[in-house]
Amino acid sequence: MNKLLIIFPSVERGGAEEYALTIARDAQQQGWQVHAAFPKTPQTTSLAQDFQQHKINYHCLEIAETYTRKLRTLRQYLPDCLRTLSLFLQIQPDAVIIVLPWIDRSLGTIFACAYLNVPTVVVFQLVPCQITLSQWQLTLYNWSRVRNQQWVAVSQYSQKLVGKIFQMPVSEVKCIYNGTKLEMDKKQSLQEIVALRDRLRQELELPLTSRLVLTVGRLNQQKGYSDPIPIIPAIAKEFPEVKFIWVGDGELRSQLQAEVKATKIEASVLFLGYQNDIPQLLKAADLFLFPSHYEGYPFALLEAMAYGLPIVASNANPMPEIITDRLEGLLFRKGDRHDLLAKLRWALQNPLLMRGMAENAKLRVREFSATKMSFETLDLVQKIIVKNGNQNVA
């Protein structure tokens, strides 16, 4: 049985980390012996438990990096490299998948894989913008890349940026789209859906006639939560039955709550924190709002599409690769609150037309299934192993 080691440097739980869990579960079903290694923090405790619940070996690997735009020195990467090498000696993996929640993370780990010449897939989940690397960083990254590694981007937009940032041919970066689970629960009757909607509103202590606008994502700058706040008073005045439901947690929670209070819209905005029943929320909501400023290939958006929830989203890349404006949903100009208000007002005024777009989105999202994502990723791992001369693949 081949051993697969999945590594990521995350200190919180989000889409990139759920991706790692999905790949790990599917690899295990294919016959791999799977190990996962990532930092142990209060925010990743539940994630480690989920890996272990699926009988996937979890290892604490302290390779977290501070999010800063200052260039790191070569010496700063050495501890990560040594910790990764030590873990390799313990596990002796046949292949590695490194999942990066940020473009320039885990150089020490990438270098360690290259140094041992272990077949490695490096997945760049989030490439928000063009960044500058030092010449020695470029040298190490590109030396590592040609040592039995295949780099993967999760959108065409990210694929092009990876090529520019690392000064490499875009054709050498493979694009594998993120995917969501499409196997829906057994078809529910209208009565069951109504009962689910009523139950959620009762749990939230809201009138049964409330219309719920759902947003799912970490409470940080990337997700654009501050953008809707100034327009919510206008929405609340025109549509008093509308309530904004924000699911997720993060470092901006206190700040956002203060902004909501200062704007006097506490009655219209509910902070639910981290939730593990997202499908039930998607079934019970009326509209999905996604104001993000930048993304990799957002699982939250794909999941909303899969459950047929009408969508209003920003046009930040790579959203236009997923949704065609006015065909599968509405796109507003990123960060433009006036355009957001106009699109949100139109969506609330035209629920039947929005339902039609949601049906189109359900068809569109079939191209982005979790099954396809896992198959293409694990097939790529096996091809690198074969190329390396080890024919004993899982």
Q: Where are the domains of the chain?
A: 3-179+369-387, 190-367
Burial of 190 (0-12, 13-18, 19+ CB in 10 A): exposed
Distance CA 239, CA 247 (A): 21
- Percent of the chain residues topping a pLDDT of 70: 96
Tell me how far CA of residue 197 lies from CA of 192, 204, 256, 266, 313, in angstroms.
9, 11, 27, 22, 23
Q: At what angle do helices 370-387 and 15-29 cross, to 10 degrees?
A: 70
User: Same CATH fold, 190-367 and 3-179+369-387?
Assistant: yes
Q: State the DSSP code for 180.
A: B
Long-range contacts of 77-82 (CB under 8 A, 24+ apart): 77/107, 77/108, 77/111, 78/108, 79/108, 80/106, 80/107, 80/108, 80/109, 80/112, 81/108, 81/109, 81/111, 81/112, 81/115, 82/108
Q: State the DSSP code for 72.
A: P
pLDDT tens per residue across span 70-86: 566 778 889 999 999 99
Six token digits for residue 79: 């501890």
| R_g (Cα) of the chain, nearest Å | 22
Distance CA 191, CA 228 (A): 33
Give backbone dihedrals phi and psi of 6, rounded to 5 degrees, phi first.
-110, 125
Six token digits for residue 213: 């606008």
SS3 97: strand
Distance CA 373, CA 298 (A): 13
Distance CA 84, CA 113 (A): 8
Distance CA 381, CA 74 (A): 29
* Residues 6+ away with beta carbon under 8 Å from 264: 233
Distance CA 337, CA 71 (A): 34
Instruction: Grade residue 186 by pLDDT with cuts at 50, 70 and 90.
Output: low
Mean pLDDT computed over every residue of the chain: 93
Which numeric CATH code is attached to 190-367?
Answer: 3.40.50.2000
pLDDT tens per residue across span 357-386: 999 999 999 999 999 999 999 999 999 999
Check residue 1 and give its pLDDT.
72
SS3 143: helix
Question: Any idea how long the chain is?
Answer: 394
> CB-side exposure of 3: number of CA atoms within 13 Å?
14
pLDDT tens per residue across span 117-173: 999 999 999 998 888 899 999 999 999 999 999 999 999 999 999 999 999 999 999
Check residue 394 and give its pLDDT.
39
Q: Beta-carbon neighbour count of residue 126 at 10 Å?
A: 20
Residue 391 predicted with pLDDT over 90: no
Question: Domain 3-179+369-387 falls in which CATH fold?
Answer: Rossmann fold (3.40.50)
pLDDT tens per residue across span 291-343: 999 999 999 999 999 999 999 999 999 999 999 999 999 999 999 999 999 99
Q: State the DSSP code for 125.
A: -
Give backbone dihedrals phi and psi of 153, rounded to 5 degrees, phi first.
-110, 155
* Residues 6+ away with beta carbon under 8 Å from 356: none
Cis peptide before 318 (omega within 30 of 0): yes
As a whole number, mean pLDDT of residues 25-31 equals 96
CA 21 to chain centre: 12
DSSP string for 300-369:
HHHHHHHTT--EEEE--TTHHHH--BTTTBEEE-TT-HHHHHHHHHHHHH-HHHHHHHHHHHHHHGGGSB
